[in-house]
Amino acid sequence: MKTTALVVLLVALAAPLSASAHGGAKFQKGFVSTVSAVLPNVLGLSANVTGGDARLRVSNYSGKTVVILGYQGEPYLRFDGTGIYANTLSPAVYLNRFRRSRGLKPGEADPDAPPRWRKVGEGASYEWYDHRVHWNKSVAPRGVRRHPDLVQKVFDWSVPGRVEGKPFAITGLLGYTPPANESGRSWAMWGAAGGGLCAVLVAGGVLGVRARDRKPRAL
């Protein structure tokens, strides 16, 4: 399972990234966020990140009511058999309107109040800007500032929720890879970048399985 998550992340980091960065900051071109797991597993619930690191997308085919919690632990989104609903009193509703959060106006939110639900989508899937899964500051992370030419892990993230009242969390990690220049990068360079990320993840304890015996190949 961990090996699969790693391969997904490596493929995402190896893909050429768009020259138009979400949020405008130049360093944001290199960020890629990926879902690692839903813990504990919720049968029928899936999640992924779209736009590189921009939006979290959740699909609920579990047949159960799923609630995603906001930044202060308040009910934020509700997925049930009739569609998707947002709690208009959750601060997340206002903070998530833009890729770069722009704050709140007084009186617009109350995370301690009973939820006030408003339908925002049909079906089983919905996606939104979630500032827990991407870098949301105007200054790049320290590691990116010091080594902007290196592939690296930025942070682990977690988005909590409840299914039928029981807690779970969508977990993942944010990574960084130097954006391709105008002429693009060769596959050999991307392979070296992937190897660098592997080293980072090994050091962090992400690779928990031994590689099977096979003929070594150059990256």
Tens of pLDDT, residues 92-149: 999 998 887 777 776 779 999 999 999 999 999 999 999 999 998 888 999 999 999 9
- Rounded Cα distance between 129 and 98, Å, is 7
Please indicate, yes or no, if residue 18 is contained in any of the structural domains: yes
pLDDT band at 180 (very low <50, low <70, confident <90, very high): confident
Please indicate, yes or no, if residue 94 is contained in any of the structural domains: yes
- Start-end of H helices in the chain: 2-14, 91-95, 142-146, 187-203
Please indicate, yes or no, if residue 217 is contained in any of the structural domains: no
Helix (H), strand (E) at residue 20: none
CB atoms within 10 A of CB 185: 17
Please indicate, yes or no, if residue 177 is contained in any of the structural domains: yes
Please indicate, yes or no, if residue 158 is contained in any of the structural domains: yes
Please indicate, yes or no, if residue 194 is contained in any of the structural domains: yes
Farthest-apart Cα atoms in the chain, separation: 63
Please indicate, yes or no, if residue 110 is contained in any of the structural domains: yes
Strand partners, 32: 175
Q: What is the average pLDDT across 160-183?
A: 88
Per-residue pLDDT, 157: 98
Please indicate, yes or no, if residue 120 is contained in any of the structural domains: yes
Per the CB < 8 A criterion, the answer to whether 193 and 149 are in contact is no
Question: Which pTM does this prediction carry?
Answer: 0.71
Q: What is the average pLDDT across 162-179?
A: 95
Q: pLDDT by residue (tens digit) across 35-79?
A: 999 999 999 999 999 999 999 999 999 999 999 999 999 999 999
- Rounded Cα distance between 167 and 152, Å, is 30
pLDDT at 184 over 50: no
Number of domains in the chain: 1
The pairs formed by 101-106 with CB atoms below 8 angstroms and a separation of 24 or more are: 101/131, 101/136
The proportion of the chain whose per-residue pLDDT surpasses 90, expressed as a percent, equals: 59
State the residue range of the domain holding 6.
Answer: 2-203
